[in-house]
Amino acid sequence: MWWGGYAWGPRFLVPLTPFWVLLLAPVVEKLETGAWRLHRSTAEPNAGAAAPGSTLGGVILFWMTAVLAVISIIVQASAVFMNFVNYETLLRTLYPTDWNDPLAFGPPAQSLGSLLDSPVVGQFRLMAQNLVANTDVAWLWADGKVLWLVVLTGAAAVLTLACLLLLWWVLWEDDGTGWRMSGPTLALVIALPFVTIGAWVGEVSRDPLYGTVGEGYRAIVGDMCKAANSTDAFVNVVPTGYQIPMNWMASDCLSALPTFGYATDSGEHPETTLVMDRLLQQHDRLFFATYGVQPADPDNTLERWLAANAFKSDDKWYGDYRLLQYATPLRLSGVQEKTINQALLGKQAEQVTILSSRAPSVAPAGEPIPIEIKFRLEAPTNQNLRWFVQLLSGQNIPLAQLDTGPDDNYRTFSTLPARETLAENAGLLVPDNTPEGEYRLIAGLYNPDAGGARLVTIGGPDFVELGTVRVVRGE
């Protein structure tokens, strides 16, 4: 987009700025012996030579540089002072935008008259419309609230540093002699930015924009950090709430958690699937957060990709947010398939044969178990069958369980092909307080439209044994 696209100015030119500044070196060199030296000696290296700043050309150069500096400061200060996103929204009313897919918007060719719609002019439009509501400074909120602690601390820091800079400038001599900063003064200069940042962080941490303790995304970050370890990663589809994990994960998580943010349609792009494939190969567990989308939403392509490639073990709501946990195929590396070949029969002539399963023999408490079930639908069915998978104690009490449709509810049994080998990925989250020991894994099917009746094996039980898993602690 010609105006930057939710970025103020040509952001890709920013890395070149230090190199462009180097071109000002000859200008500064000429001005160094001119009028701007204020108190300094006017003696020139070449006796009799006129100081560049004292000639007409030097005076013009001096004032051109000064005016350019003032204009630059005004443009940059006003851009920082105002919330440019508000003007971006205004631009999208001037140049029609498909709000269903705003990232695909391509602006028309611009004429010279369109320069009046540029952000440089637009930021002053925002000031004229509503100065307080459009500001984007740390000490003034959009509702008019002033953070006086930030104002006073920041002003004191700026004033102190300005006085020290002026003192250095006035007393410094070309031969390197002059005012020297003392140890305590140097410590003050170093501490001032940290004091100012600390005051600001303390004040804005209470802004609901950064989440409320124990609610929504902020609660997700807290719960995730309590459960996470160094072998986990975090993936999210919350593009409008990135500021919450960015501000709180570093303090809530004991170790850095690799974080990847996407949009709901990112699963359609090969670049995303390459990254996700790598995550499944390198991490034991993926935490996955969403906002404003329901489970099995077909538009949430990333969740659909995870349903086909990972093993969902937990799904919890936090208001409009969800936190899911997935086991990855990493824990199934080297695990042999266990042959089962047991048929499950339903009252509506449904018949599903469980062919085999794979699950790790050892699982740490507090972490998910990946379970792969291979099965075959013996004949087409129109019944809405659902899977259940359970981890049972010695007293046959379910310690962990999963209830899901095929492919994590992205498909139904009525759409599955008959007489083909299919796979269902399931996961179980072992409770953190589970005692060490051997536990049974079972799986089966039930029909919610028939009163929850389970399909039964020929021998009578309404489930099949997938094997056992030994739960360990402290791993």
Distance CA 84, CA 78 (A): 10
Amino acid occupying residue 207: D
Q: What is the pLDDT of residues 79-102, one digit of tens each?
A: 888 887 888 777 777 776 666 665
Q: Is 138 in contact with 207 (CB distance < 8 Å)? A: no
Q: What is the pLDDT of residue 108?
A: 52
**Identical topology for domains 216-330 and 334-472:** no
**How many other C-beta atoms lie within 10 A of the C-beta of residue 329?**
16
pLDDT of residue 15 exceeding 70: yes
Instruction: State mean pLDDT over 447-469.
Output: 92
Strand partners, 428: 369
Q: What is the pLDDT of residue 436?
A: 93
Q: What is the pLDDT of residues 169-224, one digit of tens each?
A: 777 665 556 667 788 888 988 999 999 999 988 888 888 888 998 999 999 999 99
Q: Is 325 in contact with 429 (CB distance < 8 Å)? A: yes
Q: Is 296 in contact with 244 (CB distance < 8 Å)? A: no
E-only strand ranges, 106-229 = none
DSSP secondary structure letter of residue 206? T
Q: Is 373 in contact with 426 (CB distance < 8 Å)? A: yes
Task: Indicate the pTM of the whole model.
Answer: 0.75
DSSP-based helix, strand, coil % in the chain, nearest 5 = 40, 25, 35
Q: Where are the domains of the chain?
A: 11-136, 150-204, 216-330, 334-472
pLDDT of residue 389 exceeding 90: yes
Instruction: State mean pLDDT over 321-344.
Output: 95
Q: Provide the mean pLDDT of the chain.
A: 86
- CATH C-level class of 334-472: mainly beta
CATH annotation of 216-330: 3.40.50
pLDDT of residue 333 exceeding 60: yes
Pairing outcome for strands 456-457 and 362-364: unpaired
pLDDT of residue 41 exceeding 50: no
Distance CA 324, CA 236 (A): 10
Strand partners, 429: 368
Distance CA 189, CA 255 (A): 32
pLDDT of residue 119 exceeding 90: no
